[in-house]
Amino acid sequence: MNSESLRSRIIETYLEGHNCRKTAKILNCNNSYVGRIIKQEGISRSQYIRNKKVRVGNTKQCPSCKKMKKLSDFFIDQHCEDGKTVYCKVCKGKKARNYILKHRYGLTGDDWNKMFIKQQGCCAVCNKHQSELKQKLNIDHNHKNGKVRSLLCNRCNVVLGFVNDNVILLEKLINYLEAEENNAE
């Protein structure tokens, strides 16, 4: 493949939605070379997606789910030409959630789903099912080593946070409650 042909394939692959690393892997070339080509061309995937968007009347196509949706299904964004975000609210929420799962906890959406199924959709402490809760189950992790432990309801997760995962303090709280209960009798 000659250099011009490779250059056009790099641009084409990048604009399909792949990042530089993935583009380099697909085309079996150097990651820094791909980055240099993209930079030289001044290409931005987000600009490309914005320019490629489909809008008909008061509907717009989300490039992620490919569905035509009402403009009210998109967030307001003053930086976009039409005043609405590129992705619909649902897809933007999923992207944000997946970003947080990956960068904060090192998990994928599938990892979270496996934990949810393993726990049968219930908090690991109080055993309340997610359907009984106002929020999704939280990811509980050890703050010292960052290791994910399980899924907890917000209340149980907050309690652990307030005591800084201190087992001795929790035992003292239990003793306090038991002593108070015995005095009440």
pLDDT at res. 131: 92
CA triple 45-50-55, angle to 5 deg = 150
Give, in order, the Cα–Cα distances in Å from 21 to each of 8, 10, 17.
Answer: 16, 11, 12
pLDDT in tens, 146-158: 889 999 999 999 9
Q: Count CB-CB contacts under 10 A for residue 64.
A: 16
Give domain limits for the chain. 3-43, 53-92, 107-177
Q: What are phi and psi of 146, to 5 degrees?
A: 80, 0
pLDDT in tens, 46-58: 555 555 556 666 8
Say yes or no to pLDDT of 135 above 70. Answer: yes
- Adjacent-strand bridge partners of 129: 122
pLDDT in tens, 87-100: 899 999 888 888 88
Instruction: Please indicate, yes or no, whether the overall pTM of this predicted structure exceeds 0.85.
Output: no
107-177: CATH topology is His-Me finger endonuclease fold (3.40.1800)
Q: Return d(Cα 146, Cα 12) in angstroms, integer.
A: 39
Output the average pLDDT for the chain.
84
Which amino acid appears at position 32 of this protein? S
Average pLDDT score over residue span 19-26: 85
